[in-house]
Structure 1
Amino acid sequence: MDGLSAVLLAAFTALLALAAPLLAGDPDMLQDLCVADYKSLEGPLRLNGFPCKRPENVTATDFFSDVLSLPGNISNPVGSTITAVNVEKVPGLNTLGMSMSRIDYVPWGVNPPHTHPRATEMLFVLEGSLDAGFVTTAGKLFVRTVCKGGVFVFPRGLVHFQKNNGGVPAVAISAFNSQLPGTQSLTEAMLAAFPLEHTDVLVRALQIDGGAPVHVV
């Protein structure tokens, strides 16, 4: 290998090393704003994000939402509900790499184990007290009580949960470094997605009785 080839190879390797960390979040924006144009999604093509509105059609309303000001309707067995403000709700978030959610908990309510495959989450406890924790890929559990005014961070993609540890309602606000972090519930992924002919996979994985069918009511 001549000197020029060696220099080019070294430069290419350095570029790859620099590019790798950039894959950990949404792509950087290359313009002031790119308000999501939902109407353009009717065609067969889809970008990693949403197409941009024409600048002359952008208004201040594209960057506004007040949905976090109201508590969510908690009508489910787990005792929590999530109100999301992401690019699907606020078109002005497109390409900005961030979003938020409000989580309301009934007394002793739980936000069950789940993951966000595209974002790290920072949880701020607005009211009440929560037990918050996550599990690493090595199977280690990190959990602690987070009181009003406290913050807890869930690393990207790791299984995590919260539980209201008091007899009064609790409220938390979550911030994400993605315009659409995605949420995958472990319960739904394991039980609701598996057709009955593949329940043997769950029987072996969860070490449960294979005599009864596994399903979600």
Structure 2
Amino acid sequence: MKFSQSLIAIITLALVITFGNAYDPSPLQDFCVAVKSLNNGVFVNGKFCKDPKQAKADDFFFSGLNKAGNTNNDVKSNVTTVNVDQIPGLNTMGISLVRIDYAPYGQNPPHTHPRATEILVLIEGTLYVGFVSSNQDNNRLFAKILHPGDVFVFPIGMIHFQVNIGKIPAVAFAGLSSQNAGVITIANTVFGSKPPINPEILSQAFQLDANVVKDLEVKFASKK
């Protein structure tokens, strides 16, 4: 896939905006490369940090976002994440990145990021995207159809989604205002919890027959 200069500029702008509004605590040093061991390290907000003098270029590097993800799954999409686990140098930086591939009519189902606002730029295809505001705002739906070069923002904590409404694959990149934004996929979380939530509780909450809830719990539990 070849990116035009204008689309690359849009991606860069999106990341700059995301960095400028980072949700994670601001760093108090140039960098804090994450390590898994306390040996010769210091614990900082979720990760140990290596001695800065031992940092190297590879701590700030990742390769592979030019490759499409495997969309052969139930939702027909794939999210390739580049956060602090892939680039240790992102630790304390308050920013990360994802590539999202969508097969025709595939979707990134309703989910939320508990620690980040997301800004998405569409590179290829056509997406229908949106988020739903909180109960206090009467759960309003904010939605748009995106074409290549379009940008959409999903505020922190809001349930949001993307659907490929075209007959060809779609590709998007998104910046997130956290080194590890986290993700809670609504259906998987509610119906696939371990142990499962009592079906009677979900039956009342979703106004569904308890047997329907049980079937959903079996289905989503099998995906774990």
Which category describes the TM-score, using the shorter chain as reference length? 0.7 to 0.9
2:78 alignment partner in structure 1:
81
TM-score normalised by length of structure 2: 0.81
Q: Percent identity?
A: 45
**Aligned equivalents of 1:120 and 1:72: distance in 2?**
23
Q: Deviations over 1:13-57 (max 9, x none)?
A: xxxxxxxxxxx821110001111112339x9x9642312111222
2:19 pairs with 1:25:
no
2:85 pairs with 1:111:
no
2:140 pairs with 1:135:
no
2:65 pairs with 1:65:
no
**Aligned equivalents of 1:102 and 1:197: distance in 2?**
32
Structure 2: segments with no counterpart, 5+ residues: 1-21
2:184 alignment partner in structure 1:
184
**In the alignment, residue 165 of structure 2 is paired with which amino acid?**
N
**Aligned equivalents of 1:131 and 1:105: distance in 2?**
12
The farther-off stretch of 122-131 and 51-60 is 51-60
2:54 pairs with 1:51:
no
Alignment CA distance shift 1:201-1:194 (3 Å) = farther
Determine if contact 1:122/1:151 at 8 Å carries over to the other structure.
yes
| Residue number among 29, 33, 36 corresponding to 1:35 in the alignment | 33
The alignment's C-alpha RMSD in Å is: 1.9
TM-score normalised by length of structure 1: 0.83
Determine if contact 1:67/1:83 at 8 Å carries over to the other structure.
no
Structure 1: segments with no counterpart, 5+ residues: 1-23
**In the alignment, residue 114 of structure 1 is paired with which amino acid?**
H
Q: CA deviation at 1:73?
A: 1.3
Q: Secondary structure at the match of 2:198?
A: helix
Determine if contact 2:191/2:197 at 8 Å carries over to the other structure.
no
Determine if contact 2:190/2:197 at 8 Å carries over to the other structure.
no
- Bigger Cα Rg: 1
Alignment CA distance shift 1:59-1:78 (3 Å) = same
Q: Secondary structure at the match of 1:161?
A: strand
Q: CA deviation at 1:78?
A: 0.4
